[in-house]
Structure 1
Amino acid sequence: MKEQKGFLEIDGQSIYYEYFLKNFPNKATIVLLHEGLGSVAQWKDIPQKIYQNTDYQVLVYDRSGYGISSMPKADYPSDYLRYEAQIMLPELLNKLSIKKCALFGHSDGASIALLFAAYFPQRCSYVFSEAAHVVIEDISRQGISRVRKIYTKKLQKPLQKYHGEKADWVFYHWADTWLHKDNHQWNMIEELKNISCPLVAIQGDKDEYGSPYQLALIQDNCTLAQTHLLKDCGHIPHFEAWQQVEALL
């Protein structure tokens, strides 16, 4: 396995990435997109598992403000999912000379993956979506409200392990964006209709941040979508139900 890692300057921000390359040329690349509090390190061994058990080369990166990437620019938008899908991800691919890729996204990362597939159909061959948010539900806001109340007591130190001094920004930007009244009607349903590549979307039946309605919307609006509700699984299927994830991937 050949590994390439480093930082790339994209739209005024320094973005950390790791790229696991095959020894044979022209192998397809799958890009892993982390959750709203995630980072490269928080994927743990998932990139290596995908690399070892598939033909994919694997690219994983810290989005703006996360992990060891730099803080985002001052005018980082509140609609950051679309910004990441329209600006940051395509430019990352450009800098690494990746013309077309598959995407594996979790939570916020899954929403970004779906948006990218809608905006750049010619560059996306496949999407694997875990716990995507395509609309903001009451259950989503309730879950975020619960963790916001316990952040300083239970989540701050664990997040500092991965995000350092940026941990408070990571948490409050995520939580306060989705709790703000201006975002209660946020959705990406129209974009879903533009996705033309094969798509597998999964969600746990015990996901505390979204209901099966998310899967129903994906199924109803994406022509080539397959959806799966995983039994006795919460918000992180790749840790809670890896064997099922691997089989569906």
Structure 2
Amino acid sequence: MTQRQFLETANARLEYQFVQSEASTGPTLVLLHEGLGSLELWKDFPVQLAEVCNAPVLIYSRQGYGRSSPVPLPRSLDYLGMDGPDELARVLDGLGLEQVVLVGHSDGASIALAYAARQDPRVRGVVVLAPHVDVEPASVEGVRRTVRAYTRGDLRERLHAYHGDNLDGAFRGWSETWLNPAFAAWSLYRELPCIQVPLLAIQGYEDEFATPAQLETIARNVAGPCRTVMLEHCRHFPQNQARPRVLALIAEFLATLPG
């Protein structure tokens, strides 16, 4: 594992880190974190992913998260479809990555799907964990519960260790966007038919932020090969709550990608 480094882009200074095993080959797996995530909040998942898949892994904190630059508020209501993918393009360019597989969780999964729709030839495939392609009542209620935990419980203290001075901006940028009534119209319906690369979509049956309709919509609308997997006894964090199965599924998926 390399030490944490910083990439200077036209818009922000982003923290990033590469993880790889001695046998790492093939495309780089680019991890895109969730709406309250960061480089550090992936914890030991990137190390295990690199070992199981024998692939290099890139993790980075998007602007406004972790130790990356702050983000101006309010966020754009299309930050998942435009801002996040635009930033990802700057990361791929800045680090000179030539072949990648995007692995996104929750908000990061939405960004991965939106970026795949741009048909960048560097993207060989996409893995999405608990993705959002539209705004469901379950999503809004899940955000409301999280806001209550942040204001009344210990969630703020726990997240501060990962975001530092970015914490309130990260939390407000996420929660205020999802709870904005105008955000209810957001979706990736136009982007999904443009996704031609192989796709693996994973979700827990007990996901407290979404229903299985998310995976059904993806499978019905993407143009490329798509495998969807619903996991028993799993909520919104498959990479933590069903890690052995998720690692195996991703390794199987990578083995199927065209050479």
Q: Is the structural similarity TM-score above 0.5?
A: yes
How much has 1:99 moved relative to structure 2?
2.1
Give the residue type in structure 1 aligned to 2:97. I
Name the structure 2 match of 1:106. Answer: 105
> For the structure 1 residues 43 and 36, does the alpha-carbon distance in structure 2 shift closer, same or farther, using more than 3 Å as the test?
same
**Which runs of 5 or more residues in structure 1 are unaligned?**
none
Give the secondary-structure state (helix, strand or coil) at the position aligned to 2:246: helix
Q: Which residue of 2 aligns with 1:8?
A: 7
Equivalent in the alignment of 2:189 = 189
Identity of aligned residues (%): 38
Change in Cα spacing, 1:94 to 1:4, as seen in structure 2 (3 Å) is farther
Does the CA contact (< 8 Å) of 2:239 and 2:246 recur in 1? yes
Deviations 1:54-88 (A, max 9, x none): 12110000000100101025685332112344321
Over 3 Å counting, the alpha-carbon distance change for 1:131 and 1:233 in structure 2 is: same
- Report deviation, 1:22: 5.7
Distance 1:209 1:76, change over 3 A: closer
Match of 1:201 in 2: 201
Is residue 4–residue 21 contact of structure 1 (8 Å, CA) maintained in 2?
A: no
Whole-Å Cα distance in 1 between the matches of residues 216 and 166 of structure 2? 35
How far does residue 25 in structure 1 lie from its aligned partner after superposition? 8.7
Tell me, what secondary structure is at the counterpart of 2:194?
coil
Match of 2:175 in 1: 175
CA RMSD of aligned residues (A): 1.8
Alignment of 1:83-102 (within 5 A): 83-102=82-101
User: Residues 159 and 167 of structure 2 are in contact (CA less than 8 Å); yes or no, is this contact kept in structure 1?
Assistant: yes
- The alignment's TM-score, normalised by the length of structure 2, stands at 0.90
Superposition deviation, residue 141 in structure 1: 0.5
Kindly tell me: are residues 120 and 159 of structure 1, through their superposed partners in 2, closer, same or farther at Cα, counting changes over 3 Å? same
The 1:120–1:72 alpha-carbon spacing in structure 2 relative to 1, beyond 3 Å, is farther
Residue in 1 aligned with 2:80? 81
Aligned pair in 2 of structure 1 residues 136, 76: CA closer, same or farther (>3 Å)?
Answer: closer
Structure 2, unmatched stretches of 5+, are 251-259
> Which amino acid in the other structure matches residue 43 of structure 1?
W
Deviation at 1:92, TM superposition (A): 0.7
State the Cα deviation string for residues 195-229 of structure 1 (Å, max 9, x = none): 11110101101101000000000110113111011
Aligned equivalents of 1:175 and 1:74: distance in 2? 12
Q: 2:166 corresponds to which letter in structure 1?
A: K
Rounded to whole Å, the distance in 2 between the matches of 1:149 and 1:212 is 25
Supply the distance in 1 between the matched residues of 2:231 and 2:21 (Cα, whole angstroms): 31
Distance 1:112 1:229 in 2: 21
Alignment check: 8 A CA contact 1:121 1:195 kept: no
Amino acid at match of 2:248: A
- Asked if 1:233 is matched to 2:234, the reply is yes
Residue in structure 2 matched with residue 145 of structure 1 by the alignment: 144
Does the Cα contact within 8 Å between 2:208 and 2:235 map onto a contact in 1?
Answer: yes
- Change in Cα spacing, 1:25 to 1:148, as seen in structure 2 (3 Å) is closer
Q: What secondary structure, in the 3-state scheme, does the structure 1 residue paired with 2:186 have?
A: coil
Where do 1:128-167 residues align within 5 Å? 128-154=127-153, 155-167=155-167
Post-superposition offset of 1:123: 2.0
> In the alignment, is the contact (CA less than 8 A) between 1:135 and 1:187 conserved in 2?
yes
Q: 1:20 to 1:187 in 2, by over 3 A?
A: same
Whether the aligned pair in 2 keeps the contact of 1:35 and 1:108 (CA below 8 Å) is yes
Separation (CA, whole Å) in 2 of partners of 1:5 and 1:44: 13
> Does residue 50 of structure 1 match 2:44?
no
Cα-to-partner distance string for 1:161-209 (whole Å, 9 max, x where unaligned): 1111221111111111011011111100110111111101011011010
**d(CA) in 1 for partners of 2:238 and 2:23?**
30
Tell me which amino acid in the other structure corresponds to 2:39: V
Q: TM-score, normalised by structure 1?
A: 0.94
- Output the amino acid matched with 1:17: Y
Are the counterparts in 2 of residues 203 and 229 from structure 1 also a CA contact under 8 Å?
A: yes
The 1:188/1:108 distance shift into structure 2, 3 A limit, reads same
Shift of 1:40: 0.9
